[in-house]
Structure 1
């Protein structure tokens, strides 16, 4: 039998040893049957994933550089606690946060994906707190095969096309083998989300009739909700002119408010005119994307005991992402000498003695803020492996060096430079020329300011737009992340005991991550509405020594068919924090054939990444409330900066399970696994508002991150830095069952995977423990996730159907749902008319048929995702603030594109 290594252990054994760590496998057939242009969408259907970054959920990440990426998240423990490997080796991070964009995996060469849940730091090193996702490539392929595919949604958008060609052959009389793959794909973006479910105006708003004692809820969920003080062409929000709005060409008209108004929200009235969703200013649905991949691998058998190999890959992706508009809800002050004020409005101001008014607008004459991104990842692997005899047995070894370089460029397209916005909005007439100019130009004629008119649609010059969008300069950042890694591993069976040979694997590893960045001082200015792209230059490294062993304790005794113990230990020297030891112990016990128990206990760790340690900022402008002055909805530069004093997170992970494979059903398997993870000193970053509030309560550590105007309580900047201050706990259980049944000259296969999240708590030191399991509104896990599939294959046909289920949940476990006799609402326990989010099922189907083509066959296929075109469950945005452009959906959890068709052909020669 061939020796194999399954993710979760480094030890290869010929007897099919089952590791105590649960491993779920997705075959290439399963991956190919999913109607998607990206493999990550198929992997994310496994219930053990929750809160992964997807192109839909990362649409708003215009400042972080992760827009349009696919970044996996196991157990909802965090993307940076999910270790992604390629053939068991590390991959250079795609961004400074240390995470991997699955778009850069050579997807057409993947033959299976192995997902090991549970702590694996002792086996694979840092970042494996949540588990490991290992993409296994088909490097032994011989022949020539190609595929062409394309697809679109049932709405006729998101058109995509892709092609792949793979070839493999022996050389040097069979002593060597080479395989190569090239692939290309492109997908159209969906700039405007005009899906019907997005045009109904679902949103929470504050109840204008609420008082703490009248028994009504503070928050109410309604449709036909839109902004009351920030419509497209602008609206006056105070004084006797409140409700005066401006349309095409700046023409004034009277806006009709709804029956319920609580600024900045309202229900009814002219809500359609005020609705941002479904327009160019609302949240987009999908980014544009283009990917090119090249992968080559060659190995050569020098003799029976020595093989050398080399691997080279190059991946390029280009994306364009529409993020949001410059949303302003009553945030502009217009003076009575502003010459853009229409004459009829100016007359009314003079008659009523109004010297200024507040205006809200969506700035329709400005471009939609987006990110233009390019990412290039190059990777080289050089290695050798072989066999040798020692201690009277055969040993194997493997040594490799890998160098990866990830280059990425982000350009903040149509970003607004807020100092220029302030100058351009303050318009007057030049007393000499009578031309409309910026007030600042009167005292500084060479400042280049072009006056901007926020009152109307189609009323501004290109010069005004250009000035606000950086006066010809686009904020950008170029970064290059380099990873150098080397490892040497030896494994064998040095001696035996009565129950069988003892297996050992041991090794050394070294890894260095470096980052270099460049931009100009203008691009890193904190006053960009988005962007504010700081760059970092520095490196971190680690040196490790590790060992793993499997000890057979019992074989074929009266009360045990087998009992095996597994142990691993790793000592790591981090350049930033010194030595750290992680370990794992596990056992598998089979009392009788067909029944196996497994258990693990581990101490795991995650070291802080480059971004957490040395980031120089980025993040743009964030809205908040100044608790020192009570000034609402202030816009504050809030860059994300690093903290060099961070230490590694520590985690304790427990797993206990049972596997049933009864003799009377030889093709049936059932497993049940309970798991628990507790993380100490978890690294997290407070939001801008939390930082302000904790400083206001007297915590000096957070006050140190705030810059005040000298002698005042006005704020100029808040630096959002990470700290080791959170304790996290996650618990749950997984169920997996599969059954294969030969029938009618074919094979019927059924598979069910379920994950139940029992607990997902955080304690940030504030004295309040937050339980987020079952909150279906964000990145936290639902109580249940299900994936069930049924497939039948016979020559020349294959057909499969699958279901993906998500249990019902809530917006926030702390909220109190009520419509009458409500208690007083508090910041921690808000009362709301609706706190429920409905459960949902999506159904998929796949069909393929092989037809003769010369001496080979062409495999025609059609995959349909969301066959029933089910709309996503409504997940409404919070009241007020800047959330009017958000679609009422959780992009990380629910299908939001509608029915998706993906078809094409595969041919092998």
Structure 2
């Protein structure tokens, strides 16, 4: 088999390498680590017209701009063949690639909530989608969000020949954003004929169907001097309801769903600390329900039964009537919860159309021209449960409202200020689900010239590209407006004269269609991103040294990126008009950069004892940004071939990432952070919290008072919510972040070349260490709250002056109003680990089978995560998250993919085993006094096969998650999991067909 230490010579070896990569891919998402197949398509500028000629068989692999023969990568590179991408039931590229140990899931199809973008991103090493660069044939793609992350939904899947992944900094070669590495999608080239692909899939529950139809056509033009290739794709994905999976549906009934919310459809009255009711009156009302002798504090939150009676929402459930047998309610200890999962989708539906065209034309023997364009339109629909009127959008109700139940009116009249408005918190389930439709239009046009200088080993390329992304985020359902709600609540007749029936918020009362139309609105916010890029490159040979040829690459580019976000007027904050949706302020800005780079390959020694070849690859890039100034990136890699079959490699890279347009210019964008529930989560000031009952309870109490929790309610204060708003803002004071990456590894071919059975073995092992300084980001809500209250020793004096505490803003009643989350140059990241891969091709004839028995292909890919440390602020201690789950990402210590495939001439059959090791919960770091349960080891098995029915017709199919393995429970909370890392859908079947003409 082809492996990374093999040498490619000419088109014959290129075809062999591609064939083997396809076979291995069909066996597993199989990876040819750091191997470089000779291909027509080379990365970036090094491609040339002569690349198709016998005289020029140079190779370019991701991570270098230098084309050369007899090439093996100095940096650890993973190559995924087209067959690998086809050997899974998932159609989307992000789902296929997220199976690789190098990736931690970014945005996925399961990131379905009203704040989701519907986009699919890649996240190398768990360092974030903005820190890995995604390329198409070595050129930058059009970004799809203000973070400049690439949405790989926009890539034409039928055109992908293979994917090369370099993990570790590559900024010296490619520029900003390549902190954690590069994912380079390489397209098919010079395709002639017609190819039709179709794939259908369905879950074992009969839902979640996907349909994918694509076409690829190519033909020669202008007497063979030109070539045209076009492709088109239609993809459609059905939704999956959360309630359709036992993992979620049984969770709430057993008292465990993490999404459980205390914002109830019945509505609740939250007493104001400065205007509490008389406790004796409260108790006298509840005495009529049979609660004799029970002391109910005056600050107790009260809920509304449909019959006008009341129940206590904390301090023990009393008199909850209307919902006691209703779907979605559950009593947990002292609090009543509602399960919003009964209303939402697990899998976001999507419809996508995409097209691609490329024209190549041979201007002369040494100059080629090309132009290519791509366009993608896709729509996803995200949803949430009914609108939540809570916090700064809670309802203010006058005491003149005619729907106020008599018992509540008695309690309100006992307040110090009996005529004052009072606050009602409510979930508007009868107004319908909150629905946001995300429509994305993305196009990019690239045109260029490339060629070779006659009589010289020197190639060049000059190209320019323009791209544009338009994203419409439309609220199409469930958007209750403050003005309409306020008008109905303040009307003397409760709004009956305005819309049929008016608005009764006391209990889970129905709302007429007429009033829903009056209450709700639709919005449309628009994001526009543009990218213009002009780039020129040259590469070739300089001179010869005793050990070989010195080669170089050099070039420069200009890039401008523009951003404009136009918020719908109803969503502009302070306060927002629409209840229950993320508000945002309009913003805009642009950045530009001028860059220049040079790369040099120097053969140091050759043909010596223990040094068959020793070479140095060094590069330097200088970039000047219009806002943040100049930065440098550089690298030095060593490739040491000790002997045939044994190669050592290693290097150092300084990578940089300049702040993107979102981080620089983002206006106030409100998102909601899930703090969880007491005792291990939630507001630390809650009397049920582990913070209030631990050894430092007195200091926590004092800090809560200093922060704004009223002293008269501090000892009965309950924060009955799981989410709090946080406002993210950009800053032009940001500096670029820098990273240092070290790698060292070895590649070993089987020493048993004389044995047909054993000679097909290869092993690669690589250690990586990435350290990022001045990391740009925001402090997450859970981290900010926990660190304010001295999690991990972050505020030992429990001082309100702590930077964490200063960004927590509370309401007059003590509840959290907002978390200020500006973009900052925070501390940093440090991660290290080991990648290993073992491949073994076993010819069955070598073990006694006669005829043409075929081969067994074994592929094992392993990642061992050693450390993943985060420093929240400069000078603060690093926190090692390796081996934990629950902080927003999952840091699995051991990821293992193993595949065994039987490969015959016309058919193949394989089995794939995926293993993720056990994890401890994140609370083992943040709240050691209240540690939640961790996650056990997780294993899934897939089956797949292929048969060539005729020379031009092929069928493929398989079963993913053969054993219907459920996802594990995260944090000991039933119904809570990581749907990006673990499979929430269960068993899935797929079948695909391909016809070539």
**Which of 11, 22, 29 is 2:76 aligned to?**
22
Quote the Cα distance in structure 1 between the aligned partners of 2:249 and 2:436.
25
**CA–CA distance in 1 between the matches of 2:817 and 2:470?**
33
Q: 1-side partners of 2:452 and 2:259: how far apart?
A: 69
- Say if 1:256 and 1:47 are closer, same or farther in 2 by CA, change over 3 A: same
Residue 375 of structure 1 corresponds to 440
Task: Quote the Cα distance in structure 2 between the aligned partners of 1:813 and 1:566.
Answer: 44
Cα distance between partner residues in 2 of 1:32 and 1:750: 18
Counterpart in 1 of 2:495? 437
Query: How many Å apart are 1:522 and its aligned residue?
Result: 2.8
Contact 1:256–1:270 (8 Å) recurs in 2: no
> Deviation of residue 491 (structure 1)?
0.8
* 2:834 paired with 1:784: no
Residue 850 (1) aligns with residue 948 (2):
yes
Q: Deviations over 1:375-426 (max 9, x none)?
A: 0111101011111157xx4111111111111111101333545634762684
Q: Take 1:32 and 1:668, find their aligned partners in 2: how far apart are those partners?
A: 24
The Cα shift of 1:162 comes to: 1.5
Distance change (3 Å), C-alpha of 1:859 and 1:254:
farther
Structure 1, residues 543-591: CA drift from partner, whole Å, max 9, x if none? 1111111111111111211111111110111111111110000101121
Measure, in 2, the Cα distance between the counterparts of 1:449 and 1:588: 78
Partner of residue 45, structure 1: 99
Aligned partner (choices 329, 342, 345) of residue 274 of structure 1: 329
Distance apart, 1:639 and its partner CA:
3.1
- How far apart in 1 are the matches of 2:412 and 2:562? 63
Alignment match, 1:504 = 552
Shift of 1:697: 4.1
Shift of 1:253: 7.9
| Superimposed CA distance per residue, residues 45-87 of structure 1 (whole angstroms, 9 cap, x where no aligned partner) | 000001421121x223x34xx5222100000011100110011
User: SS at 1:198's partner residue?
Assistant: helix
Aligned partner of 2:459 in structure 1 is 396
Following TM superposition, by how much is the alpha carbon of 1:737 offset from its aligned partner in structure 2, in angstroms?
1.4
Structure 1 residues 640 and 142: alpha-carbon distance in aligned structure 2, compared to 1, 3 A threshold: same
1:552 to 583, 603, 616: 603
If asked which structure has higher relative contact order (CA below 8 Å, sep 6+), I would say 1
Q: Does 1:317 align with 2:378?
A: yes
Distance 2:635 2:79 in 1: 22
Partner of 1:80: 130
For the 8 Å contact 1:339–1:427, the answer to whether it is kept is no
- 1:195–1:278: 8 Å Cα contact kept in structure 2? no
Indicate how the Cα distance of structure 1 residues 449 and 575 shifts in structure 2: closer, same or farther if over 3 A, else same.
farther
Query: What is the aligned partner in structure 2 of residue 218 from structure 1?
Result: none
In structure 2, distance between residues paired with 1:421 and 1:790:
62
- Indicate conservation of the 8 Å contact 2:841/2:855, yes or no: yes
Deviation at 1:243, TM superposition (A): 10
- Any residues of structure 2 matched to 1:266-345 within 5 Å, and which? 273-274=328-329, 281-327=342-388, 337-341=400-404
Aligned to 1:822: none
Provide the residue aligned with 1:12 in structure 2. 67
Partner of 1:138: 188
SS in 2 for 1:612: helix
Aligned to 2:633: 582
8 Å Cα contact 1:545/1:572 also seen in 2: yes
Q: Deviations over 1:766-803 (max 9, x none)?
A: 73422111112331321111111122222321212111
Conserved 8 A contact 1:589-1:598: yes
Distance (whole Å) between structure 2 residues aligned to residue 326 and residue 712 of structure 1 = 22
Contact 2:614/2:641 (8 A) holds in 1 = yes
- The Cα shift of 1:707 comes to 8.2
Q: State the Cα distance separating 1:254 from its structure 2 match.
A: 8.6
Give, in whole Å, the separation in 2 of the partners of 1:623 and 1:706: 15
Partner SS state of residue 123, structure 1? helix
**Aligned in 2, Cα 1:512/1:700: closer, same or farther, shift over 3 Å?**
farther
1:156-175 residue CA offsets vs partner (Å, 9 max, x unmatched)? 11112111110111122222
What's the counterpart of residue 621 of structure 2? 570
Q: Is the 8 A contact 1:779 1:892 kept in 2?
A: no
1:718 CA displacement: 5.3
Match of 1:661 among 749, 762, 765: 749
Q: Deviations over 1:834-855 (max 9, x none)?
A: 4321110111121222223xxx
Using the alignment, how far apart are the partners of 2:727 and 2:133 within structure 1?
27
Q: 1:327: how far off?
A: 4.3
Structure with the higher strand share, 1 or 2: 1
Q: Does 2:540 align with 1:492?
A: yes
TM superposition shift of 1:860: 1.5
Q: Is the 2:387–2:480 Cα contact (8 Å) retained in structure 1?
A: no
Residue number among 930, 935, 944 corresponding to 1:831 in the alignment: 930
Q: How far does the alpha carbon of each residue in 1:726-750 deviate from its partner, in whole angstroms, 9 at most, with x for none? A: 2211111111111222334423222
Change (3 A) 1:706 1:804: closer
TM-aligned CA distance change 1:103 to 1:523, over 3 Å: same
State the shift of 1:304 in Å: 1.8
* Counterpart-to-counterpart distance in 2, 1:521 and 1:234: 28
Q: 8 Å contact 1:685–1:721 — kept in the other structure?
A: yes
Unaligned stretches of 5+ in structure 2? 1-9, 11-56, 272-281, 287-299, 331-336, 676-682, 684-703, 711-718, 753-757, 789-794, 845-851
Aligned to 1:860: 955
- Provide the residue aligned with 1:406 in structure 2: 469
Instruction: Work out the CA distance in 2 between the residues paired with 1:361 and 1:322.
Output: 18
1:233 aligns with 2:266: yes
Question: Would you say the 8 A contact 1:734–1:755 is kept in 2?
Answer: yes
Match 1:537 to one of 573, 577, 588: 588
CA RMSD of aligned residues (A): 3.7
Q: How does 1:85-104 map to 2 (within 5 A)?
A: 85-104=135-154
Q: Superposition pairs for residues 320-719 of structure 1, below 5 Å?
A: 320-327=381-388, 337-341=400-404, 361-389=426-454, 393-414=456-477, 416=479, 419-420=482-483, 423=486, 426=489, 430=492, 435-437=493-495, 451-469=502-520, 472=521, 474-526=522-574, 527=576, 528=578, 529-619=580-670, 628-630=707-709, 632=719, 638-664=726-752, 665-687=758-780, 697=799, 719=820
1:882 counterpart residue number: none
Contact 1:80 1:99 in 2 (8 A): yes
1:370 shift after superposition:
2.5
Secondary structure at the counterpart of residue 375 of structure 1: strand
Match of 1:736 in 2: 837
Q: Is the 8 A contact 1:476 1:523 kept in 2?
A: no
Say which SS state the counterpart of residue 72 (structure 1) adopts.
Answer: coil
C-alpha deviation, 1:12, in angstroms? 1.3
- Cα separation, 1, equivalents of 2:808 and 2:303: 37
Match of 1:720 among 805, 813, 821: 821
CA distance in 1 between partners of 2:535 and 2:767 (Å): 33
CA contact (8 A) 2:501 2:511 kept: no
Q: Deviations over 1:794-826 (max 9, x none)?
A: 2321212111111100121635xxxxxxxxxxx
Q: Could you say which residue in structure 1 is the equivalent of 2:237?
A: 187
Write the distance in 2 (CA, Å) between the matches of 1:105 and 1:682. 29
3-state DSSP class of the match of 2:61? coil
Change (3 A) 1:415 1:699: farther
CA contact (8 A) 1:772 1:813 kept: no
Is the contact made by 2:143 and 2:529 (CA closer than 8 Å) also made in structure 1?
yes
Instruction: Give the match for residue 210 of structure 1.
Output: none
Q: Which residue of 1 aligns with 2:112?
A: 59
Q: What TM-score does the superposition give when structure 1 sets the normalisation length?
A: 0.85
Change (3 A) 1:224 1:783: closer
1:908 pairs with 2:996: yes
Tell me the distance in 2 between the aligned counterparts of 1:226 and 1:687: 18
- Counterpart secondary structure, 2:375: strand
Kindly indicate whether the alpha-carbon contact (under 8 Å) linking 1:295 and 1:313 is maintained by their aligned counterparts in 2: yes
